[in-house]
Structure 1
Amino acid sequence: MPLTVLGDQDVSRILHSLDRDDILKLQQSLADALHWYSTSSDANDCCSDFQPERTHLKRRDGSTTLFMPASGMTGQGVKVVTISPPDASGLPTLAENLSLSSRESSTSSPRDSIFTVSSTDVSSISSSLPHASSNTSVDDIGSGTDASSVKHGCSSASTIRGSVTLLDGLGNTVGLINAEELTAFRTALASTMLLKKRQSVHDLTVFGAGKQAYWHIRLAMLLRPGEIHHLNVITRNFESARKCVMRLYNPMPNDPNYVNPIGEKYNSKTKTNLLTPMHTEYERLLKEYVRSSNVIFCTTPSTTPLFPPGYLTNPEGRKKGRYIACIGSYKPHMVELHPDILRYAVAPHHEHRHFHKRQKEGGAVIVDTVTGCLKEAGEVIQAKLLPDQVVELGELFMLKRDAEKRMAENGEKMESGCNFQDNSGLKEWLTKGNVIYKSVGLGLMDIVVGNELINKARERSIGTTIDNF
């Protein structure tokens, strides 16, 4: 049985070659697996009964090693990753001094606190920033490395290191994949499942500028081409945000034959704002960006809320329906959204008591795994949500075969990608209302996406193959 080994560059090469149709097919495969995970009996290998809980190993240096075994339709697998202690201070709370730490201020200036890009190419961004680090390579872009670590020769380009081992149904090892890029991609793949059918994605705000943020932005632009008019990236370090945006349009600089599926230049309709807390009007702009957003991605390991709850829970904040995905916090003490926002989302609302415009609430928070989020998601734990106040992502989608059958019966054309359950109230909430998605990660996601990458690698002769392993 051959073994295919994919290094980080191999994984990046495959992922950056995917176009919109490829992403939709991957999302359908992942949606089917998550549906089986959430709803099936023990007759299916994706059932939650066959998904062991992940194990944590705390090391003396403060890092944490995760062992995430999983079972899929085509076999089993395990992901082993070591997470270095992140700088989890997040963005400053508005009651505090809004200046950055001395470590960051050494590489940023007030001039770098906000930058706007509109209808320009990548090279003009680099040349317009006098304080850009000259010794930062494209390989560091979006990797979670800030400018100071590059400047001081830090070799660590990411806080996550590890691999995914894939086995077939007989236990033969068929794949070994670097987990760094894969982890960020599969998380974004799940987060953006609900993005495809949102009524509006005009304004997108992203907290963070690492690989998670990068893949969330990239997949959003692939799934909704030409519809994102404003992209706001909010992070503590301006240089990392600049590199994240640059990588979107030039992800493979060493490949002269590479064709970028999202285009070679900035979309003429997209205006990009980069904001850091050093800006003198940070509080005003933060409120403006959050309030105007149709979609918010939170990708930071913050231990304090990224913005006050009133931005979204007071009458003005409730006028617009938003899709909010939080994937950065993975421990009980970490929190990106204020617990009051989650409490409001699940609280019963009586329409006749409200005289102001207010978007529909679903009465639940969407999660990738109920058991995992109740144990590890800081927002869910601190909001004291009950099991009946969270719903798994897999429960919202129909299996591909069921969707095809329904479309055929109704004489409708089958749509690509995920399809919601046939419920008008559910569809209205998911497409127009306020939706919060919280993810802590599932080994099943790595197995499903990993197997797809192995298949594509073999088709394109990418990576290293060991015969008769």
Structure 2
Amino acid sequence: MPLTVLNGPDVRSLLLSLTRQEVREIQDKVASVLREYSRGAQDELGQVQQHMVIRQQDGLDSILMPLHSGGDAGFEVMNVLEGSGQQRRQSQPASIPSPRRTSNPGDNQGSIASVPPEIESSPSVPSQRTIEEHPSTANFDKTANTESARDFRSGYLTISDSFGMPAALINTQDVIPFRSALCSSLVFARREKVEAITIFGAGRVAFWHIRLALLLRGSQIKKVDIFNRSFDRASKLLRDIYSPEQMQWRSGVKFAAVSPSFIDYDRDLKHSVTNADVIFCCTSSKEPLFPADYLIMPPTSQKGQLISAVGSCRPDTAELDPLLLKHATEGHRHYRGGTVVVDTLDSCLQQAGELVQAGLDPLRLVEVGELLMVNDFAQRGKSPDEKLLDWIQDGDVIYKSVGLGMLDLVLGKEIWHRAMQKGIGITVPQL
């Protein structure tokens, strides 16, 4: 069987070319896997496999993971860097002028959108870089230390044919961030109100969350606030969004970039978080990105919000204040009060720092696959729990994900087949 090779630009261009309908088709396949996983069909789908770590030089670790899902098999390699992230960032020259304050100090709305006009007229970010830094953000007291968090640098996915030989070799620099955003969108797509979005991070994970949110619900989104420790990185993300080829899917949406260097950062942060309908956390922060009090105190506590935390995936990292998760699961026995949704229960209880530090009762967690099954009942005219459906649509929902490797295999197969249909990539006739 021929071997198809898809490099980083190939994958990115294909993902950017996906239409709303194509994304929904891929969503359905990912949702199907998650439903079956939550039904306990791990044996048929593919058990979560143990991974192997190879220590390379200069702090680089190569993580090797065997994958199988249904009748498909393959393996994935992720190269991550331990530590020294801040030193690398400080060594790079700034490319954007310092942020200018253009609003009146008393105007809460104006204090957020203080992005230099040069951003809109700047050329777009180069489509590919061999290595991209992982996004980092400051916590609410501006002392977050993300230097020792794992920093995803590069990786690839190999899909095997029925004889165990490689049939596809795919660069995963955008596959993994796209998968994270796609899983977040399964809950996001069911929300009633999505006008205001707050996002932490400015890397590929943040980009794909914005991209899919606007592709799926763009006509309903009015503003997107981007918070990132480095204003340079947030500005690069905005330049990418404001590039001419992105005009159609960002039309009518107001974007703002905010960093701790802003004089009114604390006020901007609180205003954005408390007024957001959706909050996406896409960082490797070791400290909470904002205080729990912002959301658990009236009047914000009466506002239904979706919070998706997908960036941290180790017990010593936490994007959300553990107090926020405790509030969502203790003393609130109605769906409206909030419950924590996870991609996989076992993995999140072991790897999600927020859940580990909060010491949550597993009985107060629900897998996203279980929620999708409830939605299926409703579509088939059966009688689901109406309170549960109401909660999914407009209650306080916290979604925590650490990633499920078999989904990379499912997504990789979709990318591979669509690439072959569109003539994208390189074909090696015989390996």
Q: Does 1:77 align with 2:74?
A: yes
The SS at the match of 2:424 is coil
Contact 2:9 2:127 in 1 (8 A): no
Q: Specify the code of the residue in structure 2 equivalent to 1:368.
A: D
What is the SS of the residue equivalent to 1:280?
coil
Question: Is this contact kept in 1: 2:120–2:242, CA < 8 A?
Answer: no
1:113 & 1:265 partners in 2: Cα distance? 28
Match of 2:319 among 324, 336, 341: 336
Task: State the distance in 2 between where 1:141 and 1:243 align.
Answer: 16
Counterpart in 1 of 2:179? 186
Give 1:317 deviation, angstroms: 2.2
In the alignment, is residue 360 of structure 1 matched against residue 333 of structure 2?
no
- In the TM superposition, what are the counterparts of 1:98-177 in structure 2 within 5 Å? 110-111=98-99, 125-126=118-119, 137-139=126-128, 143-144=132-133, 159-177=152-170
Cα 1:242–1:408 change in 2 (3 A) is same
Alignment of 1:212 with 2:211, yes or no, is no
For residue 170 of structure 1, report the CA deviation from its aligned partner. 4.1
Aligned AA for 1:335?
Answer: A
Contact conserved, 1:113 with 1:276, CA < 8 A, in 2?
A: no
Runs of 4+ in 1 over 4 A off after TM superposition: 57-60, 86-89, 101-110, 112-117, 122-125, 140-143, 405-410
Does the Cα contact within 8 Å between 2:313 and 2:352 map onto a contact in 1? Answer: yes
Displacement of 1:87 after TM fit? 6.0
**Residue aligning to 1:423:** 385
Deviates more, 1:316-325 or 1:65-74: 65-74
1:376-410 CA-partner distances (Å, limit 9, x unpaired): 111111111232222222222139xx94x975668
User: Which of 255, 262, 267 in structure 2 is aligned with 1:272?
Assistant: 255
The answer on 1:282 being equivalent to 2:265 is yes
The match for 2:188 among 195, 198, 202 is 195
The answer for the alignment partner of 1:383 in structure 2 is: 358
Q: Structure 1's 113 and 40: CA in aligned 2 closer, same or farther, altered over 3 A?
A: farther
Which is worse superposed, 211-220 or 164-173?
164-173
- State the match for 1:463 in structure 2: 425
Amino acid of the structure 2 residue aligned with 1:241? A
Aligned to 2:142: none
| Partner in structure 2 of residue 45 of structure 1 | 44
Secondary structure in structure 1 of the residue aligned to 2:67: strand
In structure 1, what is the equivalent of residue 145 of structure 2? none
One-letter code of the match for 1:391? Answer: V
Q: 2: distance between equivalents of 1:184 and 1:429? A: 27
Find the aligned partners of 2:73 and 2:125 in 1 and give their Cα distance.
39
Task: Tell me how far apart the structure 2 counterparts of residues 345 and 2 of structure 1 sit (CA, whole Å).
Answer: 51
Q: TM-score, normalised by structure 1?
A: 0.78
- CA RMSD after TM alignment: 3.3
- Secondary structure, in 3 states, of the residue corresponding to 1:139? coil
Structure-1 residue corresponding to 2:11: 11
Could you report, residue by residue, the CA deviation over 1:108-159 in whole angstroms, capped at 9, with x for unpaired residues?
A: 6653589999xxxx9964366xxx8x9974535994478xxxxxxxxxxx84
Distance of 1:163 and 1:350 partners within structure 2:
44
Structure 1 residues 102, 249: closer, same or farther in 2, change over 3 A? closer
Distance in 1, matches of 2:222 and 2:406, equals 34
Q: Deviations over 1:407-439 (max 9, x none)?
A: 5668xxxxxxxxxx9432221111111111111
Map 1:191-270 → 2, pairs under 5 A: 191-250=184-243, 263-264=247-248, 266-268=250-252, 270=253
Structure 2: how far apart are the matches of 1:301 and 1:205? 17
In 2, the alpha carbon distance for the partners of 1:136 and 1:167 equals 34
Q: Give aligned-pair identity as a percent.
A: 33
Q: CA 1:86 to 1:227, structure 2 compared with 1: closer, same or farther past 3 Å?
A: farther
Among 400, 403, 408, which residue is 1:441 paired with? 403
1:14–1:457: 8 Å Cα contact kept in structure 2?
Answer: yes
| 1:60-71 equivalences in 2 (<5 Å) | 61-71=58-68
Call closer, same or farther: CA 1:103–1:174 in 2, change over 3 Å: closer
What secondary structure is seen at the aligned counterpart in 2 of 1:440?
Answer: coil
SS at match of 1:397: helix
SS at 2:180 equivalent: helix
Give aligned pairs, total: 406
- Tell me, what secondary structure is at the counterpart of 1:304? coil
2:99 maps to amino acid: R
Kept in 2, the 8 Å contact 1:142–1:247? The answer is no
Normalized per residue, the structure richer in helix is: 2
- Amino acid in structure 1 at the alignment position of 2:261: M
Measure, in 1, the Cα distance between the counterparts of 2:134 and 2:165.
36
Q: Is the 8 A contact 2:134 2:153 kept in 1?
A: no
**Would you say the 8 A contact 2:96–2:235 is kept in 1?**
no
Trace 1:403-418 onto structure 2 (pairs within 5 A). 403=376, 407=379
Deviation at 1:80, TM superposition (A): 0.6
1:355 equivalent in structure 2: none
> Are residues 1:394 and 2:387 paired?
no
Shift in Å, 1:348: 2.6
Aligned-pair CA distance for 1:244 = 1.1
Report the Cα distance in structure 1 between the residues aligned to 2:3 and 2:101, rounded to whole angstroms.
Answer: 48
Structure 1 contact 78–443 (Cα < 8 Å) conserved: no
CA distance in 1, matches of 2:57, 2:282: 26
CA distance in 2, matches of 1:425, 1:409: 16
SS in 2 for 1:66: strand
Give the match's secondary structure for 1:180. Answer: coil
1:467 CA displacement = 2.2
Residues 1:27 and 2:27 are matched in the alignment: yes
Q: Distance in 2 between matches of 1:242 and 1:30?
A: 32
Q: 1:149 — aligned with what?
A: none
Q: Is the 8 A contact 1:113 1:238 kept in 2?
A: no
